[in-house]
Amino acid sequence: MINSMNTPLTEFKGIGPKKSQLFSRLGIFDVEDALYSFPRGYEDRRNVKSISSLEAEEEAMVLGTVAAVKKGRYVRGRKRTTRFLIKDETGTMEVLFFNAGYLEKNIKTGDKYWFFGKINKNGGSIAMMHPSFGKADEEDFNGDILPVYPLTSGLTQGERRKLSANALKYVDESLEVLNENIRRSNQLCGIEYALKNIHYPEDERHMRVAKYRLIFEELLLFSLGILMMKNKFLERKAGFVMSKVPYVSVFCADLPFGLTSGQKKAVEDISNDMSSGKRMNRLIQGDVGSGKTVVSAAAAYKAIKNGYQAAIMAPTEILAYQHYDTFKDFFDDKGITVKILNSSTSSNERKETLEMCEDGRADILIGTHAVFGKDVRFKDLALVVTDEQHRFGVAQREALNAKGRNPHIMVMTATPIPRTLALIMYGDMDVSVISDKPLGRKEIITKVFRGDERENAYRLVMDQIKKGHQAYIVTPLIESSENIDVRSSEEVFEEAKEYFGEYKIALLHGKMKQEEKDRIMNDFKEGNIQVLVSTVIIEVGINVPNATVMVIENSERFGLAQMHQLRGRVGRGSEQSFCILVLDKDTDVAVKRAEAMESFSDGFIIAEKDLALRGTGEFFGTRQHGIPDMRIADVVKHSKILKKAMEEAGRIVEKDSLLANEEHRKMKERIFSLYGEEEPRL
């Protein structure tokens, strides 16, 4: 019996365990899933056209009888076509399929079928290429707009449609989660109308009204989830209300350089947050090289001067060491103790560091995941800084939070997140943006060379090292592989040794022992190595201002965001720097990316281009970045609706911050059922 939205599919007539298994592959487990898994498109069958009235280039539905099958011949290297001759009372047309020989068995001469597709006209002949089609018996064929769903092998479109049609019988007003007020002020149709018309639209207008409502609903529920989480976060008063003494200014005055106005503003924001009595939850977003590290040091200084401890987390060991060096430079002469914890820290050292954290002798602890270890305890941790946060999972962030009494949180990222996505990924955080770069930085010159012009790239590198500078050469792979046609770092390393003979060349990759990596990185920093051949492990954060050239080999294999990060390794001093992309395969996308790199240096613009080239799904990879799978909404495509939904969510939460009122009950239940027991996490 079907008595709730959570009734499993096997309760439907005709769906047994086997079919239900297939549906589950599409994420459909119960009635509700069937209703909320939407079509990817529609077939408009209202307008059956007679063959003689077909017009070129139109999309049309034709009903006809198969008069003949013409088997295509297989021509080497070409598509094999199968043709059917279709007749109705007014004329004849051809239907063509490529590489679909199996259809010769399925589409039978003498039977009646419908075909839906685009019309090609050539002289007197009429053809339809690769149409969708089906048997035109009374039952299956009706003059409707029919949904087209994503399928999985073993399920037919007809079976999937039938499921929707059946599930729709159980739709009524009780499914409505948006109250009348919300619907009216945002001009949204009711849920019954929406579900019926998204699956079986009466006409195009109905479908659009339905779609708008469902997109809005999805984005509204998500926005509400974020706001509730943010409120909950703010409710927790900080255990650490720090004095308003302007320690950060003291720290900044002592720096060898003046801060940029973006840095100043970020430092000010942080200082205010930490004194506000509320817990800080702030994202510092600044392009590569904008100088975020010093901002975190100012924050740490404030925490320590107030008598507390700070923890800094880096995504890689190399970066942890770099921060350690930087922080020691800042703090050694100020009587502040900085310690590092790494997987390679010796057990004696580790023991001592742990003791120092626990009894408070260590003021700042820097490290990678090691900082989350169960045995790590602090005396009074009041500030947690995560660098390049997108590398950290939520669980890790939480684990560290648990180590203090609601410590202030500061997150630094160079990932230039387009505004629409930032809203979603960091909706729960306050944001400071550092949009300027330290004075005297020159724009990096980016050049693209084809694989056979590699010589030019090396010449430019030679030029720079002759001037006393250093260079990176990044490759996508460590070892060469039979299957993949790219130049490995080992190969490039050998080549470079030959070409740059008199200079010191080194190879760095992820499979090396930690000590070896550290030694090489250190040598590079000290200027003892001129050319560093590396895999992408140097992608994030590395700071060697004397390095002025970045060569990216097989650049077609890198994403835009990644190349921008790599490019950010140079241009960190006052000298003119260069980024060279060596393109071995000039596919369309690769060329577009290279062009974008040549034309734009602003990380935000690059990110927008990247998003356009790849789409949201791939931009960040997966859910762990906090963007949940959306059923119908697309945060990029529907950014205008997202904005409206965000605004509505703001109005709702302002009046009823925990959605405790009866008029919001159903909405709240739905948010919980969508995102689990807890509100959506970022």
Residue 83 neighbours by CB under 8 Å, 6+ apart: 69, 70, 72, 94, 95, 96, 97
294 touches ligand ADP (CB under 6 A): yes
The footprint of ligand ADP on residues 194-233 (CB under 6 A) is none
Distance of closest approach, residue 316 Cβ to Mg ion, in angstroms: 11
Residues in contact with ligand ADP, counted by CB under 6 A, come to a total of 18
Query: C-beta of 327: minimal distance to Mg ion in Å?
Result: 12
Q: Does 527 bind ligand ADP (CB under 6 A)?
A: no
Identify the bridge partners of residue 649 per DSSP, sorted by sequence position.
Answer: none
Q: Find the binding residues for ligand ADP in span 233-272 (CB under 6 A).
A: 257, 259-260, 263
Which CB, 163 or 294, lies closer to Mg ion?
A: 294
Q: How far apart are the first and last CA of the chain?
A: 39
Q: Name residues whose C-beta falls within 8 Å of residue 462's C-beta, 6 or more positions apart in sequence.
A: 499, 500
Q: Which listed residue (291, 407, 416, 571) binds ligand ADP by CB under 6 A?
A: 291
Which residue, 323 or 593, is less far from Mg ion as judged by CB? 323
The residue among 343, 355, 28 whose CA lies nearest residue 159 is: 28
| Residue found under tokens 């199996």 | 102
Which letter, b or e, does each residue of 643-653 get, where b requires 16 or more Cβ atoms within 10 Å of its Cβ?
Answer: eebbebbeebb
Interaction of residue 292 with ligand ADP, rule CB under 6 A: yes
147 binds Mg ion (CB under 5 A): no
Nearer to ligand ADP, 302 or 572 (CB): 572
Nearer to ligand ADP, 98 or 257 (CB): 257
Q: Least distance (Å) from ligand ADP to the CB of residue 260?
A: 5
CA distance 396 to 380: 19
* CB of 259 vs ligand ADP, minimal distance in Å: 5
Query: Can you tell me which residue has the tokens 């089906």?
Result: 134
- Each as own residue / partner, the long-range contacts of residues 654-660 (CB below 8 Å, 24 or more positions apart, any chain) are 657/228, 657/231, 658/228, 658/231, 659/224, 659/228
- The residue number whose beta carbon is nearest to Mg ion equals 541
Q: Is 603 in the site for ligand ADP (CB under 6 A)?
A: no
| Residue range at the interface with ligand ADP (CB under 6 A); choices 74-82, 106-114, 283-291, 471-479 | 283-291
Round the CA-based radius of gyration of the chain to a whole number and report it: 31
- Sole window of 166-174, 209-217, 290-298, 610-618 interacting with ligand ADP (rule: CB under 6 A): 290-298
Q: Which of ligand ADP, Mg ion, none does residue 82 bind (CB under 5 to 8 Å by kind)? A: none
The DSSP-derived string for 632-646 is: S--TTTTHHHHHHHH
The residue (of 293 and 316) whose beta carbon lies closer to ligand ADP is 293
Measured from the CB of residue 156, what is the shortest distance to ligand ADP in angstroms?
Answer: 54
For 28, phi and psi rounded to 5 degrees? -105, 110
Long-range (24+ apart) CB contacts under 8 A made by 94-98 are 94/125, 94/126, 94/127, 94/128, 95/127, 95/128, 95/131, 95/133, 96/127, 96/128, 96/129, 96/130, 97/129, 97/130, 98/129, 98/130
Q: Segment 437-456, which members bind ligand ADP (CB under 6 A)? A: 438
- The verdict on 414 binding ligand ADP (CB under 6 A) reads yes
Token pair of 618 as six digits: 């791939």
Taking the complex as a whole, the smallest distance from the CB of residue 312 to Mg ion amounts, in Å, to: 11
Copy the structure tokens of residue 5. 């939205």
Q: How far is the CB of 337 from Mg ion (least distance, A)?
A: 22
d(CA 339, CA 81): 70
CB of 256: closest distance to ligand ADP in angstroms?
8
Q: Under the criterion CB under 6 A, does residue 98 sit at the interface with ligand ADP?
A: no
Q: Which one among 37, 275, 290, 488 touches ligand ADP, defined by CB under 6 A?
A: 290
Is 315 a binder of Mg ion (CB under 5 A)? no
Contact flags string 540-559 toward ligand ADP, x per CB under 6 A:
-x-x-x--------------
Least distance from Mg ion to the Cβ atom of residue 293, Å:
5
Q: Is 293 in the site for ligand ADP (CB under 6 A)?
A: yes
Q: How far apart are CA 94 and CA 129, in angstroms?
A: 9
Nearest to 162 by CA among 176, 149, 175, 143: 149
Phi, psi of 236 (to 5 degrees): -70, 110
The answer to whether 286 contacts ligand ADP (rule: CB under 6 A) is yes
Exposure string (b/e) for 590-620, b if CB count within 10 Å is 16 or more? beebbebbeebbebbebbbbbbebbebeebb
**302 forms part of the interface with ligand ADP (CB under 6 A):** no
Which CB atom, from 415 or from 470, has the smaller least distance to Mg ion? 415
- Positions in 526-565 near Mg ion (CB under 5 A): 541
Q: Which residue has the tokens 């023991």?
A: 351
For residue 74, state whether it binds ligand ADP (rule: CB under 6 A). Answer: no
Binding residues for ligand ADP (CB under 6 A): 257, 259-260, 263, 286, 288-294, 414, 438, 541, 543, 545, 572
Binding residues for Mg ion (CB under 5 A): 541
